Chain A
């Protein structure tokens, strides 16, 4: 019985694997939901769903071990399982075209989520009434902006992601006359004036206002009501030697400019910015609540959008579930603050945002086709005459003698 040995790909195409993967997905969602208390929504997504493995310390060893497959791995294997099953097991026929369409829709849905995880960027825009903004800011990512303010008409910005500050090594850029050397980086820190701290430790900063300040590293918070204040020290080194070590922090709102080789610079650690080729002005914000409660009934931003190319200059109303889609981004009404004088828009940039819609359309079409084919076949049998039904489901002679006596169809 050599033919009984299964094909190597039979395992990948098996329904058993599908069931195991779905069960593991359920366990993953359950564990992630419990852990959300400790990590917050974003942390859980990164640890459990947008990773190949869930890492955890085992037995207090201090080392991280992969303890469970992550969402990316499970979703990836599920796609492979579905595709392989189609290629290996399902045979193409018009009668099964609906099933094929439905499954292609499912595969596309899974792939779309994978692409969203890789490509989607979530930012926010906080705009006061009357204010004009042309950039959105990341919720989580931080950048060190080296801003050259020499030119009277514009600022030249070199933006270094904070991840590079933690990676070590010097950072060079053709537009900078110096090298940026990260000295220390804290994802969260408390920064105080030196005079306000008892027995302050010596400062790493040797230049700028950071000399008079103390940065104390703090535990990273995942509480959505609290804020992390990334802080660090960077040394700038030019051809003639060090320009000094500077304290940079998202807490420092007015970093003093410094001059080097006749050019003026500022160092700012800030939320990562995404500059837009258009501006948004908040003209009006309305916030309605259900009478007698604080429950929001409707909140809406009336904005004016002006594109730099002059093609768009229009008024738009953004309200709940009615985002503005423009310039490859979607602007959702996410919140409000400051006694209703400020709107908070969530800015989502996701090149693959249309995939779920296409997937759902394919699934619906597939189901319609599949059920339609069955319905069509049913009606065809009915129209062909009762004898065919009878041939398949012969009626008891005693119950329907007239049918039993009917002539056979050709």
Chain B
């Protein structure tokens, strides 16, 4: 007998442990689901001049006068048409790539190829680029004059800016004389670029996060307590709207995504949130609220009946009255400063009906800082 019974038992246990370890290792091929806070970078700084699409990293700039904003799409975070004399136009693009975005030589040679210039060697790189210190960081600048197919003499002004996890490329390309005239505007544009700094810690419902403990919510940024009728509530850091809440609305501790939160009595609640971009557009949001209220969705034709306009303090609200369902919602949507603000009144049917006039009056107090 080679193995004692106890040894066999030990070996079996060892094999079982190895099997468990093997199974654990296979888990990384499975689908997971979890809840995460909205991306702080995307949520905190809507771009004032050319809003980046929803979910993209926050960047903003001030475009020179005369540059015509084009819709950003796909990889382009910003796109401009730069008009010149005689109908000539140049194209300005802002593109973001995750990671390192390739090495400097590859970037330079890619741009050189676009104006039909031969590639350079790594040793020649320092002579082909310049550095530009700007508030957003250190830009690397390149300037190439060549030709492009069917377009004759073409010039390319390019720059890139490296961020922790991505690289931003800025490129102005077009007829040589037009681009020459826009060189100052181009560097001015780069100087105006600001990138959203990382935000404060975000409150998360950690019950939905993998391996998380109980949630901790940061204190509400605005003044706490009820009866602040005459005190404007600064809801969060950064550019924010101001408003005056009625005296009987109780300020609730919010979380990082809520700009304001009030308990109105009888179970009614007002929540104020803000997001960059158009957050899917008016129709999508109206139908989302109607769905939450237990009402059927509307189409473009039905949108006019489902919404009404409310103009106050230079603000243009789209008011949604979804009171017919089991969970009444009175909500307003306000495009402002490149983002969209949501004001939502929810609660039991009678409480919402009672609170609605005060809610509409409250919307009238919302104003820019």
Contact = CB atoms under 8 A, between A and B. Distances in A.
A149 B54 CA distance: 10
Nearest to B56: A254
B204 A308 contact: yes
Contact of A262 (B209, B210, B287): B287
B37 interface: yes
Contact of B209 (A121, A149, A275): A275
B201 A132 contact: yes
Contact of B30 (A135, A161, A254): A161
A87 interface: yes
Contact of B98 (A226, A253, A306): A253
Nearest to A161: B29
Among B52, B75, B103, B211, which residue has the most Cβ atoms of chain A within 10 A? B75
Contacts of B213: 277, 307-309
B3 to A, nearest CB: 7
Given A154-B208, A164-B29, A250 B98 contact: yes
A262 B39 CA distance: 22
Nearest to B213: A309
Interface in B1-50: 2-3, 7, 21-22, 24-25, 28-40
Interface in A269-322: 270-271, 275, 277, 279, 281-282, 306-310
B198 A127 contact: yes
A254 B50 CA distance: 14
Contacts of A131: 164, 197-198
Contacts of B101: 227
B216 A309 contact: yes
B77 interface: yes
Given A118-B22, A149-B54, A275 B210 contact: yes
Contact of A252 (B57, B75, B208, B287): B75
Contacts of A133: 198
Nearest to A194: B74
A368 interface: no
B211 A277 contact: yes
B54 A150 contact: no
Could you say which interface size class chain A belongs to?
A: 35 or more
A209 B255 contact: no
Interface string A201-225: 0000000011011000000000001
B18 to A, nearest CB: 8
B270 to A, nearest CB: 13
A252 B31 contact: no
Interface residues of B, number: 81
A227 B102 contact: yes
Given A126-B164, A338-B163, A213 B288 contact: no
A214 B209 CA distance: 36
B271 A152 contact: yes
A129 B34 CA distance: 28
Nearest to B99: A227
B225 to A, nearest CB: 23
Nearest to A152: B273
Among A9, A150, A250, which residue has the most Cβ atoms of chain B within 10 A? A150
B205 A128 contact: no
B73 interface: yes
Contacts of B176: none
Contacts of A127: 164, 198
B304 interface: no
Contact of B32 (A155, A159, A261, A337): A159
Given A126-B165, A158-B31, A254 B102 contact: no
A47 interface: no
B198 A175 contact: no
B228 interface: no
A191 B75 contact: yes
B164 A150 contact: no
Contacts of B297: 262
B54 A266 contact: yes
B344 to A, nearest CB: 8
Among A158, A275, A279, which residue has the most Cβ atoms of chain B within 10 A? A275
B173 to A, nearest CB: 11
Contact of B7 (A87, A147, A254, A255): A87
Contact of B28 (A161, A337, A342): A161
B229 interface: no
B36 A254 contact: no
Interface in B193-233: 197-202, 204-206, 208-216
Question: Which 5 residue pairs spanning A and B have beta carbons closest together?
Answer: A131-B198, A309-B213, A254-B56, A118-B25, A262-B291
30 contacts: A87-B3, A87-B7, A118-B21, A128-B163, A134-B37, A135-B36, A137-B165, A149-B38, A149-B55, A152-B257, A152-B271, A152-B342, A154-B36, A154-B37, A157-B35, A158-B33, A161-B28, A252-B75, A253-B75, A254-B72, A256-B53, A259-B287, A263-B288, A266-B54, A277-B206, A279-B201, A308-B216, A309-B206, A310-B216, A341-B137
Given A227-B99, A264-B280, 6 more contacts: A7-B2, A154-B208, A158-B33, A227-B101, A271-B98, A339-B137
Interface of B: 2-3, 7, 21-22, 24-25, 28-40, 52-57, 72-77, 96-103, 137-138, 162-166, 197-202, 204-206, 208-216, 255, 257-258, 271, 273, 275, 279-280, 283-284, 287-288, 290-291, 297, 342
